[in-house]
Amino acid sequence: MKLGMKRCLVVGTTLLLSLPLVTTWAAEKPSSFEDKLKNVQLCNGSDRSSPERQIAGCTALIDVPHETTRLLAVAHNNRGNAYAENGDFDHAIADYDVAIKLNPTYAKPFNNRGLAYQKKGDYDRAIKEFDEAIKLSPNYGNAFANRAAAYQKKNDYERAAQDYDTAIHLEPNLAAAWNGRCWVRAILGQLQVALADCNKAVALKPNDAGTYDSRGLTHLKMGEFNSAIQDYSTALRLEPKLATALYGRGLAEIKKGDASSGNADLAAAKAINASVADDFARYGVKS
């Protein structure tokens, strides 16, 4: 599992805008309607070449005089998502604030604002935001998964597991939730069910480094060192600077008797994340 920001960002949500133009279409010039349609498409993220394109489309809609409150709330939410994708979490939060002010019953900006606070390391505030999103939309599986990730960051693995349970019940194909539950179950020592969760996550999303990292930890704690090395190596092919995969592979190599390769991996992991050994000790794995 990647430390720091891994599994924080389970789902940021872009809500598709629908043009509220049925009554005004005839009064608009074709070019005006076509411009608005283009901006709606950009604000919806149709052009994934850069977040700046989405920001520009949303801003153009926001700047139109006398636009509907509903459309403005969605445009601010979507622009917030684009800012967040750029790593500009303060501007993202400002847009989510406006979206919520315009529509206080709109669950998505609460969820997305929670993700932004989570990326900033404010896990308690993030949990409050996810709480509100779930209160407004009790079947919001992504919000449960995101809250689980926040509890996970606070080392509250039991509550994280409970939220992952709910997320999977609501969204059975949400790979990040299966992966997250695998990780916390592995930490809690529930290794067989953790392995089943990771296998499901791999089936749903076979090219995700984090899932192989989670399964590597599970195999490591099970004493299946060859399988652990294989999973960690796959994770590192997908994400070469993944400190937890380097450290976990190093431990597995040492336990197999290959101290030279193992110590090299441990050193490389510590160069990326100086606290990785302490993290593994907290997960119940020591060198």
Q: Where are the domains of the chain?
A: 1-16+30-123, 138-204, 207-287
Give the C-alpha separation, 72 to 76, whole Å. Answer: 6
Give the C-alpha separation, 117 to 30, whole Å. Answer: 42
- What would the two tokens of residue 286 be? 């020591």
Give the C-alpha separation, 77 to 91, whole Å. Answer: 11
CB 177 within 8 A of CB 145: yes
CATH no. for 138-204: 1.25.40.10
Please tell me the pTM assigned to this model. Answer: 0.86
25 DSSP assignment: G
CATH no. for 1-16+30-123: 1.25.40.10
Residue found under tokens 């052009």: 47
Among 272, 228, 263, 268, which Cα is nearest to 248's?
228
Instruction: List the chain pLDDT tens, one digit each, 287 residues.
Output: 443 333 333 445 555 564 433 323 333 344 576 777 888 899 998 877 789 999 999 999 999 888 899 999 999 999 999 999 999 999 999 999 999 999 999 999 999 999 999 999 999 999 999 999 999 999 999 999 999 999 999 999 999 999 999 999 999 999 999 999 999 999 999 999 999 999 999 999 999 999 999 999 999 999 999 999 999 999 999 999 999 999 999 999 999 999 999 999 999 999 999 999 999 999 999 77
Among 209, 238, 4, 199, which Cα is nearest to 121's?
4
- What would the two tokens of residue 106 be? 């709109």
- Third-level CATH fold of 207-287: 1.25.40
What Rg do the C-alpha atoms of the chain give, in angstroms? 22
- What would the two tokens of residue 103 be? 């529509």
